[in-house]
């Protein structure tokens, strides 16, 4: 052993023996209180003290107490514990308020005499040590058992002090903490959403016409559809997060609305040329328009969402959409005609219409976001908003020609959230 090592060990021994006379008794305030080899959070845990277990406090060093705990070898084990994790007690076990005199500076230990390492590696080691300490305190406050550091010994039931020191001579190694991730969806990978809400269709106003020959002159029939009014929306979906950031999901949406259609007819005069007249009206009932969609989602949990509380979630999604449109459309326009044989009097009145359901399918896209708040580990409530757009070609029944219909629009709603 070189002279420097002998001097360091002698300094540590004299400092310890000089302060042991004034040692005070304290007890652990939390379960699995960590005792560290050095007075910093990056130091390895050399022993743990159960809640209520006793330690002898030697002196105060900043935010740390230097303490002695019994070991399996019969000799006291010297370590350090954060001051807020223990409390002083009197002989009868009641809390003590006696101040502890601040001791001399902590002498250097052999680990501190090692030549400086790479700064990045040291910083990473310190951060890992800090995370490990926070995890130990969090698990202790939650009543969960502390997972020991590699190389440490589990608590011994027969110990009257509930102390489990590490075996002498064994290396103390920091490990990567197995912490539960807080924020976003935590460690839950499967999600299920059920939403009820409203929808505004992207379809604009449309008009269709059919021209034929009546009384040896052209006659025209027309139907007009305004922009669909706001309708209802139902959404059901789920998915799986392959990583904390990326996932895949499917959802089925169903929207519906009802609106009346305009009707028109231009009919020639039976006996007089160029004396056609036009009549206008609306359908007697509202025509139904129903749209279903299968949304294939690529889900992304943004970085900002992963630092939120475990009770909240935020998910962005986008992908292709397969649309199916079912729509009632005017097929025939019924009218009556009043005219005079010898004059140009010609009155056309719309008295009704016939409608039938036409259907079509097509592809499009969608994008949106979903937020949730969980009042239990698995269930909560949330809201979603989605924009989609696509097109469907179908046979328009009045003109008997193919017509392109716009599908999608803005959907919004809220409902049940589940995660597993």
Q: For residue 387, give the CATH number of its domain.
A: 2.40.160.20
Interatomic CA distance for residues 77 and 87, integer angstroms: 19
Which three-class secondary structure state does DSSP give residue 47?
strand
Q: How far apart are CA 402 and CA 62, in angstroms?
A: 83
Task: Report the pLDDT value the prediction gives residue 170, as an integer from 0 to 100.
Answer: 39
- Can you give the pTM of this predicted structure? 0.56
- Statement to judge: residues 42 and 112 lie in one domain: yes
17 vs 278, which has greater pLDDT?
278
Within a domain: residue 174? no
- 117 — alpha (psi -120 to 50), left (phi > 0) or beta? beta
135 and 95 in a common domain: yes
Coil/strand/helix, residue 218: strand
Q: Does residue 195 share a domain with residue 158? A: no
Confidence label for 286 from pLDDT (cuts 50, 70 and 90): very high
Is the residue at 152 inside a domain? yes
- CA 409 – CA 49 distance, rounded (Å): 62
In this structure, are 108 and 63 located in the same domain? yes
Per-residue pLDDT of 146-205, as tens digits, reads 444 444 434 433 334 444 444 433 344 444 444 444 344 456 899 999 999 999 999 999
pLDDT for position 164: 46
* 224 in any annotated domain: yes
Strand-by-strand arrangement of the 206-214 sheet: 206-214, 217-225, 262-267, 277-282
Same domain? For 244 and 310 the reply is yes
CA-wise closest residue to 161 among 81, 228, 71: 71
For residue 217, pLDDT over 50 is answered with yes
Residue 178 belongs to some domain of the structure: no
Residue 184 lies in a domain: no
Please give the Cα distance from 43 to 35 (Å, whole number).
10
Q: What is the dihedral angle through the alpha carbons of 117, 123, 124, 128, rounded to the nearest 10 degrees?
A: 120
Choose the weakest-confidence range: 34-48, 84-98, 283-297: 84-98
**Average model confidence (pLDDT) for the chain?**
80
Task: Give the pLDDT of residue 2.
Answer: 47
- Among the residue ranges 71-75, 141-145, 396-400, the one predicted with the least confidence is 141-145
pLDDT digit string, tens, across residues 221-273: 999 999 999 999 999 999 999 998 999 999 999 999 999 999 999 999 999 99
The answer to whether the CB of 88 falls within 8 A of the CB of 99 is: no
Tell me: do 94 and 210 sit in the same domain: no
Which residues have CB under 8 Å from 219's CB, separation 6+? 211, 212, 213, 265, 266, 267, 268, 276
Residue 191: Cβ within 10 Å count: 23
Q: Is the domain of 153 the same as that of 294?
A: no
107-113, long-range: CB < 8 A, 24+ apart: 107/8, 107/11, 107/12, 107/15, 108/8, 108/11, 109/8, 109/12, 109/37, 109/38, 110/5, 110/8, 111/38, 112/38, 113/4, 113/8
Whether residues 137 and 225 share a domain: the answer is no
Q: What is the pLDDT of residues 96-152, one digit of tens each?
A: 765 555 555 555 444 444 444 556 677 777 777 777 777 776 766 665 554 444 444
338 in a structural domain: yes
Higher-pLDDT residue of 122, 77: 77
How many domains are there within the chain? 2
- Residues 272, 305, single domain; the answer is yes
Domain CATH for 52: 2.30.30.40
Domain limit, last residue, from 112, 131, 165: 165
- Could you tell me if 276 and 407 lie in one domain? yes
Share of the chain above pLDDT 70, in %: 75
Is residue 235 within 8 A of residue 411, CB to CB? The reply is yes
Could you tell me if residue 403 is inside a domain?
yes
For residue 75, pLDDT over 80 is answered with no
> What was the pLDDT predicted at 100?
57
What's the confidence (pLDDT) of residue 402?
Answer: 93
Domain boundary among 130, 165, 200: 165
Distance CA 311, CA 184 (A): 8
56, 138: one domain: yes
268: Cα within 13 Å, side-chain hemisphere: 14
Ranked by mean pLDDT, which of 23-27, 112-116, 390-394 comes out on top? 390-394
Tokens of 410: 């803005």
Closest alpha carbon to 394 in 289, 267, 248:
289
Helix (H, G, I), strand (E, B) or coil at 21: helix
In a domain, 227, yes or no: yes
Write down the pLDDT at residue 403: 93
Q: Looking at the predicted structure, is the pLDDT value of residue 57 above 80?
A: yes
Q: Which of 149, 165, 181 is the last residue of a domain?
A: 165
Q: Whole domain around residue 257: which residue ranges?
A: 190-419
Per the structure block, which two tokens stand in for 153? Answer: 């010994």
Which pLDDT belongs to residue 97? 66
Which of 54-63, 308-317, 338-347 tops mean pLDDT?
A: 338-347
Are residues 359 and 238 both part of a single domain? Answer: yes
């Amino acid at each position: 052993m070189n002279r420097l090592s002998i001097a360091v060990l002698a300094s540590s021994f004299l400092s310890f023996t000089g302060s042991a006379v004034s040692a005070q008794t304290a007890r652990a305030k939390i379960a699995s209180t960590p005792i560290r080899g050095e007075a910093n959070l990056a130091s390895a845990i050399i022993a743990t003290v159960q809640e209520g277990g006793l330690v002898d406090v030697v002196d105060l060093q900043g935010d740390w107490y230097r303490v002695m705990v019994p070991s399996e070898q019969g000799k006291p084990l010297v370590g350090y514990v954060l001051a807020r994790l223990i409390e002083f007690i009197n002989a009868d076990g009641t809390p003590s308020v006696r101040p502890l005199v601040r001791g001399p500076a902590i002498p250097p230990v052999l680990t501190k005499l090692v030549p400086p390492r790479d700064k990045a590696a040291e910083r990473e080691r310190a951060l890992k040590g800090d995370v490990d300490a926070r995890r130990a305190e969090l698990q202790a406050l939650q009543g969960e058992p502390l997972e020991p550091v590699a190389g440490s010994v589990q608590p011994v039931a027969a110990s009257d002090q509930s102390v489990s020191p590490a075996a002498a001579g064994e290396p103390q190694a920091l490990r990567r903490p197995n912490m539960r991730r807080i924020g976003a969806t935590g460690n839950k990978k499967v999600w299920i959403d059920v939403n009820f809400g409203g929808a505004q269709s992207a379809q604009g106003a449309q008009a269709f016409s059919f021209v034929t020959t009546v009384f040896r002159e052209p006659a025209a029939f027309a139907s007009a559809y305004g922009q669909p009014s706001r309708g209802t929306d139902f959404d059901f979906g789920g998915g799986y997060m392959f990583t904390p950031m990326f996932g895949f999901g499917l959802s089925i949406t169903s929207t519906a609305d009802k609106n009346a259609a305009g009707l028109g007819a231009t009919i020639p005069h039976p006996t007089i040329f160029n004396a056609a007249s036009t009549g206008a009206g609306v359908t007697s009932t509202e025509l139904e328009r129903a749209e279903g969609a299968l949304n294939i989602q690529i889900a992304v949990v943004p970085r900002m969402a992963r630092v939120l509380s475990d009770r909240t979630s935020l998910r962005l999604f986008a992908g292709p959409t397969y649309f199916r449109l079912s729509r009632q459309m005017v097929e025939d326009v019924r009218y009556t005609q009043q005219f005079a044989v010898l004059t140009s009097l010609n009155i056309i009145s719309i008295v009704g219409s016939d409608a039938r359901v036409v259907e079509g399918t097509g592809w499009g896209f969608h994008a949106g976001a979903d937020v949730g708040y969980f009042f239990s580990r698995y269930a909560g409530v949330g809201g979603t908003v989605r924009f989609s757009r696509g097109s469907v070609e179908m046979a328009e029944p009045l003109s008997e020609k193919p017509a392109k219909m716009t599908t999608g629009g803005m959907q919004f709603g809220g409902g049940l959230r589940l995660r597993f």
